[in-house]
């Protein structure tokens, strides 16, 4: 059930992936999840326009190491700009380019990007085909549809395969559901039956048993872990059988790496947020969160983590 997987020449040691999470999947977090057993990780979604205009903030999202394989997620709606981004030196280190066609956030949708492309099949097809022409392996992440009464999962999956995608990831909710409610296993299963490329299932997976059920009921080729990894990155150990290091050890390594790459201020703010995730569900979590968010330096955050985690 949980096994090695290959698509488009990209070889992954297992089929349990870390989802791209805006604001969270920076390099230190991805590196930590790889060490715990994630078979593939994705950057935060990167604006192709921002990349082409040389945005410094966009560049920070692309920081990576020599681990392999690794994937970058991009978004946009202009086929020419998307292809140029795929051909750029900035994306050269990545083994796979994933196109976001599922983001439900209004500011993305208003620009005709993210899940808006599921409302424009011809443009979505052109975007995928243009990226494929770059020579990079290309995957697509999308949802079951725009609304609950107008789902198009299988049809959109066929479009992706026809345009040249080597793998697809399906978030089992429609755009109107955002991140709420149960995933639609039937829609993912229908998409799996409609294509010959690997299908990765995403949404509502908070444990190994959740992942097993997802694969069993959808026939998908793998699973993608999203918010569960923020609360407990050790979830990858559950799938892979790797020994789980103490959370204090992981936190210290993550904090130091984050500070080295992004600076003291960013690391303080970011690691306070991560500490809040890691303590969620613990006894006294509310008080722990208050103390973390009162910390004014990485040293204060680390000292609290050594005491609380």
Is there a cis peptide before residue 268, judged by omega within 30 degrees of 0?
Answer: no
Find, among 27, 18, 75, 21, the residue nearest to 51 by Cα.
Answer: 75
* Total residue count of the chain as it appears in this document: 309
Strand order in 138-143's β-sheet? Answer: 40-41, 16-18, 222-225, 199-202, 167-171, 138-143, 96-101, 71-75, 46-47
Could you say which of 12, 33, 86, 103 is catalytic?
A: 103
DSSP 8-state class, residue 15: S
The H or E element containing residue 287 is: helix 285-294
Would residue 33 show up in a list of annotated catalytic residues for this protein? no
Long-range pairs of 226-231 with CB within 8 A, sequence gap ≥ 24: 226/19, 226/21, 226/202, 227/21, 227/179, 229/18, 229/19, 229/21, 229/33, 229/38, 230/21, 230/24, 230/274, 230/277, 231/206, 231/277, 231/278, 231/280, 231/281
Please tell me the distance from the alpha carbon of residue 236 to that of residue 242, in angstroms, as a whole number.
8
Q: Please name the residue that has the structure tokens 């230190």.
A: 28
Q: Are 113 and 105 a contacting pair, CB within 8 Å?
A: no
The neighbour count for residue 264, using CB atoms within 10 Å, is 12
Cα 101-130-121 angle, rounded to 5 deg: 45
Which residues form the catalytic set?
103
């Amino acid at each position: 059930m949980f096994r090695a997987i290959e698509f488009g020449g990209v070889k992954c040691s297992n089929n349990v992936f870390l989802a791209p999470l805006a604001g969270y999947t920076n390099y230190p977090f991805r590196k930590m999840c790889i060490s715990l057993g994630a078979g593939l990780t994705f950057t935060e979604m990167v604006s192709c326009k921002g990349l082409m205009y040389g945005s410094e903030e966009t560049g920070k999202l692309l920081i990576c190491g020599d681990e392999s394989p690794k994937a970058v997620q991009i978004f946009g709606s202009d086929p020419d700009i998307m292809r140029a981004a795929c051909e750029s030196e900035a994306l050269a280190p990545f083994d796979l380019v994933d196109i976001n066609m599922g983001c439900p956030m209004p500011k993305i949708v208003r620009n005709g990007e993210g899940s808006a492309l599921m409302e424009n099949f011809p443009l979505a097809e052109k975007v995928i085909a243009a990226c494929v022409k770059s020579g990079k392996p290309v995957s697509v992440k999308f949802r079951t549809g725009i609304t609950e009464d107008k789902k198009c999962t299988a049809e959109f999956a066929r479009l992706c395969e026809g345009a040249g995608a080597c793998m697809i990831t399906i978030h089992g909710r429609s755009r109107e559901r955002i991140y709420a409610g149960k995933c639609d296993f039937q829609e993912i299963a229908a998409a799996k039956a409609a294509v010959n490329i690997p299908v990765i299932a995403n949404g509502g997976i908070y444990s190994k048993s959740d992942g097993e059920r997802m694969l069993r009921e959808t026939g998908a080729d793998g699973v993608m872990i999203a918010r569960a990894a923020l609360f407990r990155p050790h979830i990858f150990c559950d799938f892979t059988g790797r020994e789980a290091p103490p959370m204090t050890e992981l936190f210290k390594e993550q904090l130091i790496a984050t500070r080295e790459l992004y600076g003291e201020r960013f690391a303080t703010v970011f690691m306070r947020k991560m500490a809040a995730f890691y303590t969620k569900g613990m006894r006294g979590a509310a008080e722990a969160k208050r103390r973390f968010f009162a910390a004014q330096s990485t040293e204060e955050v680390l000292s609290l983590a050594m005491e609380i985690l």
